[in-house]
Amino acid sequence: MKYGHFDDTNREYVITNPKTPYPWINYLGNEDFFSLTSNTGGGYTFYKDAKFRRLTRYRYNNVPVDNGGKYFYIKDGDTTWSPGWKPVKTELDSYECRHGMSYTKFKSSKNGIEAQILQFIPLGFWGEIQKVSLKNTSSETKKLKLFSFIEWCLWNAEDDMINFQRNFSTGEVEIEDSTIYHKTEFKERRNHYAFYSVNTPIDGYDTDRESFLGLYNDFDSPEVVDEGAPKNTIAHGWSPIASHYVEIELKPGEQRDLIFMLGYVEVEKDDKWESKAVINKKPAKAMLAKFDTVDKIDAAYNDLRAYWDRLLGKINIDSGDDRLDRMVNIWNQYQCMVTFNMSRSASFFESGIGRGMGFRDSNQDLIGFVHQIPERARERIFDIASTQFEDGSCYHQYQPLTKKGNSAVGGDFNDDPLWLILSTTEYIKETGDFSLLDEMVPFDNDASRAKPHFEHLKASFYHVVNNLGPHKLPLIGRADWNDCLNLNCFSDDPNESFQTTGNKKGNTAESLMIAGLFVVYGKEYVKLCKRIDKDKEAVEAQKHVENMIKAVKAHGWDGDWYLRAYDFFGNKIGSNENEEGKIFIESQGWCTMAEIGKEEGMVEKSLNAVKKHLDCDYGIVLNSPAFTKYHIEYGEISTYPAGYKENGGIFCHNNPWIMIGETVLGRGDQAYEYYTKIAPSFLEDISELHKVEPYVYCQMIAGKEAFKPGEAKNSWLSGTASWNFFAIFRR
């Protein structure tokens, strides 16, 4: 079943049934200011960091899902409705939500009134626009009451959710003309405030949530809307909101456009106040003046469209299959830019308060957007490399605001360093700019320890060489790409994390995935050394690559496929000898891409085994059979129920590795078949089962051993985006 359709000419997905199987969302904003919006108006807005500068409140894991957002209530006689269907959920005469490139449009109608909303963030602007157009399509004059609604978040999204003993007493607002200012904590350490405004005189307002909703009402029937009159409340503590009230009279055929703006302002420390307790509103007023007419809004919207024309204009395929073309030309590239902006921080599955930028994730994301924004990719490479140490090891994550390595998470994920060779060489191939190799880049964020960027690549390469195990294969550390294969962890305490505690610092557990990865990017490293006349280094590195190939052939082959790893005790993982987890995808992907043992038929055998044991209707599962009991020596992988996540789920990120492996054998048709199983536009007809957006990749689809094979989760922020794009264009 479908819930809408693609409009490729406009680069939009058009949702025509608001009751999608999960909220289908879009991202607004391209630089500092961002907003997530669902197809029913749910979501939230933040400046730069979804944890520390969240403007509007959002309750994750809510019941029902996706309650709360940027809402409008239209009261027309006895009928109240919302253009996005929610929160009122009055049955609409028509409904349409168009998610486009950094904008979303709603168009719906009820009882002879048509409402349109255009929602976007102008380029380079710290404010979100909602252009609301109301048109009377009936033959009678209509008197409408319009209520807007947003709920302020008290800036720190985590504290906002837990620290009620304080937060219920701190909320403060100011109102001037049609603008509601949110100034909680402004008088102490914050030099920023937010505002929500409309470009017309208002007939009332509310800023206290309880007065607006009523203590026992839900968002679908606020007391104020039910009664048809605002209370003009000023919030003191509790939960501040911003709601405008506007009375609108429309003659038959008449239309009115209102421009709402949700903005963010930073002021100088000594320029915070206009007068005693009155905030400096000058910057906000300047922002409002910038976009106070429909013409100005339309011009900004056209600029945004032109911006995306430029970004997407660099690659265009015409394959004869719309489903493929729209993925490659539009949605996959769009998703790659979203992963550039968000990393893994804010989606409807990532709460925006947890994870920073991942070393491995960010390097891999880069291969999906380097052609669109090469200058920013260059900068990103240096940000990442700066969190590395001289021995090649690195912090697993860093914080986007400070760009400092996150010591709470630490390091020792031994695949991490190699991904820097991937991002750097892909950047060079795309741009021809070798000069980044000479740029001085700090180690451990310490400028006094800076060295040319090339030295970082060398450190990455030798980190593997210097950390080999008993079979001369790479030691895995805490985990390799598979975060949940924790072979040095042995955790029996449910209160600790598999990733960050219990590390046994073993010197036996080895990874065939890293071995393959090393051969692929080791060869790239050798090639690079030759290109920049480091011939001696090339010869030296080549030896290490060849030794690794030998080690894989001698100790990494199980007869029909590549092993996955050796555990802490030196036992095989991913072998026919194992009862569960006999075969894993990651080592098949990387060792076939590395072409290890191709002449001896290993590549072909391995990929045939993938087809036989791991492929299913919905994609290639990660391992098979899935684990059915907890193996303390394997870690988190065996905690997931069979068929989900890293335990036998279709982890879409790694499926392209097999596709690329197939191309090594020249089996393009097989590669393409795998592609069509996970590419979202090919799954549109089974949206009911697939559940998440048919226009973006998700991290995981439940595998063949799951309770509900084919059901997907974790859409948007996944390395799946860049790798699928890369698989199509692989050089």
Nearest residue (CB) to ligand GLC, 428 versus 520: 520
Token digits for 352?
Answer: 């925006």
**Shortest Cβ distance from residue 442 to ligand GLC (Å)?**
23
Q: Under DSSP, is residue 647 helix (H, G, I), strand (E, B) or coil?
A: strand
Nearest residue (CB) to ligand GLC, 239 versus 714: 714
Q: Judge whether 102 and 304 are in contact, CB under 8 Å.
A: yes
Nearest residue (CB) to ligand GLC, 148 versus 639: 639
**Shortest Cβ distance from residue 712 to ligand GLC (Å)?**
14
| Residue of the chain from 11, 57, 182, 360 that contacts ligand GLC (CB under 6 A) | 360
Nearest residue (CB) to ligand GLC, 232 versus 399: 399
Rounded to 10 degrees, the C-alpha dihedral 605/610/616/618 comes to: -130
| Residue of the chain from 244, 281, 344, 704 that contacts ligand GLC (CB under 6 A) | 344
Q: Which stretch binds ligand GLC (CB under 6 A): 188-196, 261-269, 358-366, 551-559?
A: 358-366
Instruction: Decide: is 605 part of the binding site for ligand GLC (CB under 6 A).
Output: no
Nearest residue (CB) to ligand GLC, 332 versus 486: 486
**Shortest Cβ distance from residue 212 to ligand GLC (Å)?**
38
**Shortest Cβ distance from residue 481 to ligand GLC (Å)?**
4
Name which of residues 542 to 601 contact ligand GLC (CB under 6 A): none
| DSSP 8-state secondary structure symbol assigned to residue 600 | T
Q: Under DSSP, is residue 37 helix (H, G, I), strand (E, B) or coil?
A: strand
Instruction: Decide: is 486 part of the binding site for ligand GLC (CB under 6 A).
Output: no
The DSSP annotation for 62-77 comes to -SSSS--BSEEEEEET
Q: Judge whether 519 and 461 are in contact, CB under 8 Å.
A: no
Q: How far apart are CA 484 and CA 635, in angstroms?
A: 6
| Residue of the chain from 178, 239, 347, 499 that contacts ligand GLC (CB under 6 A) | 499
Contacts of 570 (CB under 8 A, 6+ apart): 470, 508
**Shortest Cβ distance from residue 266 to ligand GLC (Å)?**
31
**Shortest Cβ distance from residue 383 to ligand GLC (Å)?**
17
Q: Is 483 a catalytic residue?
A: yes
Instruction: Decide: is 361 part of the binding site for ligand GLC (CB under 6 A).
Output: yes
Q: How far apart are CA 312 and CA 333, in angstroms?
A: 7
Alpha-carbon distances, residue 118 vs 122, 130, 283, 300, 307 (angstroms): 12, 6, 24, 12, 17
Name which of residues 424 to 483 contact ligand GLC (CB under 6 A): 481-483
Nearest residue (CB) to ligand GLC, 260 versus 716: 716
* Nearest position to ligand GLC, beta carbon: 483
Q: Where would I find the beta strands (DSSP E) of 82-120?
A: 94-99, 103-110, 113-120
Q: How far apart are CA 443 and CA 445, in angstroms?
A: 5
Phi and psi (nearest 5°) for 388? -95, 160
| Residue of the chain from 128, 426, 646, 693 that contacts ligand GLC (CB under 6 A) | 646
Name which of residues 693 to 712 contact ligand GLC (CB under 6 A): 699
Instruction: Decide: is 484 part of the binding site for ligand GLC (CB under 6 A).
Output: yes
Nearest residue (CB) to ligand GLC, 393 versus 718: 718
- Residue 708's closest CA among 616, 637, 638? 616
**Shortest Cβ distance from residue 126 to ligand GLC (Å)?**
29
Burial class (CB in 10 A: 0-12, 13-18, 19+), 133: middle
Q: How far apart are CA 678 and CA 210, in angstroms?
A: 45
Instruction: Decide: is 160 part of the binding site for ligand GLC (CB under 6 A).
Output: no
Would you call the peptide bond into 87 cis, given omega within 30 degrees of 0 as the criterion? yes
Instruction: Decide: is 335 part of the binding site for ligand GLC (CB under 6 A).
Output: no
Which sequence positions are flagged as catalytic?
A: 483
Interface residues with ligand GLC (CB under 6 A)?
Answer: 344, 358, 360-361, 481-484, 499, 636, 645-646, 699, 718
